[in-house]
Every structure is written in C-alpha cells, then in structure tokens.
C-alpha cells in the first residue's frame, strides 16, 4: 500500500518550481492557474525571490502547494501515473493537508490557492509580530516536549505544535514562554531547543482568530470527497467525509500536527511506501518514524522519471 504525502511550511526556497516549469508545459499551467487565482505573480516570486518575500506566510503557503501540485500534474500527464490508481491514502503536513485534498480531487486548484493565501494572512494577523514564537526541540519525544511546554508556560500559552518524528517536536506559544523553554530544555533532558525563524506561533490556541477566519472561508467552498482517504493532522486517522474534513481543517489551525502518529497509523493500515511530492522534508521524517518503510521525495524531472519507472 502507498501514501502520497505533501510538505508544509519551511520547504520553500527561491528557485522552487523553475526547472520543472522550464521542462514541462503541464507544470507551467499549474503555476499560471495559481497566479490567476491569486491575482499576483507568485511563480515569479518562487523562481526569482526575493527570499524575504517568499518567506512571508501568505506567499509561502500557496507556493509550496503550487510546487507540489505541479509535480503531481507532470507525474500524471507525462508519466501516466494517476494518484487514484497508485495511492491508497494522502496526507500533508499542516498546509500540506490542503495540497493533499487538492491532489485527491476534494478541492480545485484555484480554490486551494485562495484558501492558503487567506490562511497565511489570517495566521499572520492573529498575533501581533513579536508576541508569539516557536521552537524546535531536538532529541525530544512527545512526553518530554509536553512536560517542557507545561513548565515554561507559567500562565502564558505554550503548547506542542508539531509532533514531527521521534527526535523532533516543535512547541509554540507566547514569546515569553518560548524564551523560558529554551534554557529549560537541557535541564529536562532535551538535547537542544532552537527558536524557529517564523513570524507567528502556529498550531496553538493563540491562532483562534485565524481558525475563525478559516471557518468562515471554508463554509463557502465546495468540498468533495477525496478519491482516497486523507489521514488528518489533528486525528492521525483516515477521513473521507467532506463535512468532517471541513471541520478538521478549522481545528487544525489551533491543533497539534500529529505527523509521527499519522505515519505510524498509515503503516499500521498497511502502507509501506511513502511518496513525498514537491519537497525533501517529509521523506526523511518518515524514515525516522518507520525505518522499514520506503520513502521517496520527488522534486525534479529526474525524480519524476525515476518514480514512473518504479511504479
């Protein structure tokens, strides 16, 4: 069994998608459709930068999605590999959940781009700059991370945001709490805590205004059943009912990304082959979570051709 998986924020870089667009008209069509949907030259920003502008959440989120969908489109149109034939499940890390739903036909591309632009804007606006932060805990499991978040909170919001893999958990919350957590980490047996270069505290209760904005936006969109079930971030369980998916996408804004549990649950369901499209982040996480599984990250035309040969 196989899952197609889609990366989240942090996988963006200037130059992304440029070689794919140069090589494939199908990739160019995806980037053009996203540009048209957003009314901006997002692909130019992806290809040429500047980096500071691409890093902005409202640009990074639709850019990462567009790059992954362009990769899938080339795989389908030029490689003859259809997701519906070759995947048993889809999953995505945070914003990647929207990409997964687009890939599985639950959302159309233009709608997905507009939702992610809005999601980025709403997440940025939810907390004034400087009032929230995130830190990656290296050499920490979920239990240690939760204990640290509780100890560092001291009346401020501090929560586990991403349970990524057995060696990396991310905490999120008020800047003061994250500042307390960094020196506390070593005392609590965690190898290292690194403050992340993000502009807002994602996946914690401080994001409630963004969750409200997404609830309003998602209420107005057509959401179909995906062609294969989605493993949802907040439940680490498969879902195919459009109304349940709609509710989970809202919950996901403030909820923990249960990526480690999702991979283990997919493996338990019989998945032994994970294919990451549009990034090289999740494949490495999968190998740390499920060492016996096959994990392939597909970014370039050569990667696509190799995958076509294998599938």
Q: Options 3.40.190.170, 3.30.365.10, 3.40.366.10, 3.10.129.10; which CATH number does 2-126+206-309 get?
A: 3.40.366.10
Structural domain boundaries of the chain? 2-126+206-309, 132-198
139: left (phi over 0), alpha (psi -120 to 50) or beta: left
Residue 198 in this model has a pLDDT that exceeds 90: no
Residue 111 in this model has a pLDDT that exceeds 90: yes
Q: Indicate which residue of 11, 24, 94, 172 is catalytic.
A: 94
115 falls in which pLDDT band (50, 70, 90)? Answer: very high
Q: Which long-range contacts (CB under 8 A, 24 or more apart) does 114-117 make?
A: 114/37, 114/38, 115/214, 115/217, 115/218, 115/221, 116/61, 116/62, 116/65, 117/38, 117/58, 117/61, 117/62
> Mean pLDDT throughout 283-298?
97
120 falls in which pLDDT band (50, 70, 90)? Answer: very high
Residue 64 in this model has a pLDDT that exceeds 90: yes
200 alpha-carbon distance from chain centroid:
16
Q: Options 3.30.70.250, 1.10.10.10, 3.40.50.150, 3.50.50.60; which CATH number does 132-198 get?
A: 3.30.70.250
pLDDT of residue 60: 94
pLDDT tens digits, 125-154: 999 989 999 999 999 999 999 999 999 999
pLDDT of residue 197: 84
Q: Which residues contact 40 (CB under 8 A, 6 or more apart)?
A: none
To the query of whether residue 272 is one of the catalytic residues in this protein, the response is: no
Roughly how many angstroms between the first and final C-alpha of the chain, as a whole number? 12
To the query of whether residue 203 is one of the catalytic residues in this protein, the response is: yes
d(CA 230, CA 103): 11
Q: Indicate which residue of 93, 172, 203, 297 is catalytic.
A: 203
302 falls in which pLDDT band (50, 70, 90)? Answer: very high
Look at residue 139 and give its three-state secondary structure: coil
């Amino acid at each position: 069994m196989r899952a197609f998986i889609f990366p989240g924020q942090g996988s963006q870089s200037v130059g992304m998608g440029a070689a794919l667009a140069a090589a494939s008209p199908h990739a160019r069509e995806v980037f053009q459709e996203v540009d048209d949907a957003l009314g901006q030259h997002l692909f130019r920003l992806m290809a040429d930068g500047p980096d500071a502008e691409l890093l902005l959440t409202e640009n990074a989120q639709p850019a990462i999605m567009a790059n992954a969908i362009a990769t899938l489109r080339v795989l389908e149109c030029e490689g003859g590999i259809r997701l519906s034939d070759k995947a048993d499940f889809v999953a995505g890390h945070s914003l990647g959940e929207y990409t997964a739903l687009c890939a599985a036909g639950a959302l159309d591309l233009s709608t997905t781009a507009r939702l992610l632009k809005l999601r980025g804007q709403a997440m940025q606006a939810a907390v004034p700059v400087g009032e929230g932060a995130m830190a990656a805990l290296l050499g920490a499991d979920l239990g240690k991370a939760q204990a640290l978040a509780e100890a560092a909170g001291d009346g401020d919001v501090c929560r586990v945001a991403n349970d990524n893999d057995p060696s990396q958990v991310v905490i999120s919350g008020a800047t003061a709490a994250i500042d307390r957590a960094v020196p506390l980490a070593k005392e609590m047996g965690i190898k290292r805590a690194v403050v992340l270069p993000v502009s807002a505290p994602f996946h914690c209760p401080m994001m409630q205004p963004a969750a409200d904005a997404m609830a309003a936006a998602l209420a107005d969109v057509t959401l179909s059943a995906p062609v294969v079930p989605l493993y949802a971030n907040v439940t680490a369980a498969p879902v195919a009912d459009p109304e349940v998916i709609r509710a989970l996408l809202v919950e996901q804004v403030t909820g923990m990304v249960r990526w480690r549990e999702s991979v283990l649950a997919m493996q338990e369901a019989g998945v032994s082959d994970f294919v990451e499209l549009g990034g090289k982040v999740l494949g490495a996480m999968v190998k740390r979570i499920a060492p016996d599984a096959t994990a392939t990250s597909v970014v370039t035309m050569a990667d696509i051709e190799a995958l076509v040969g294998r599938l």
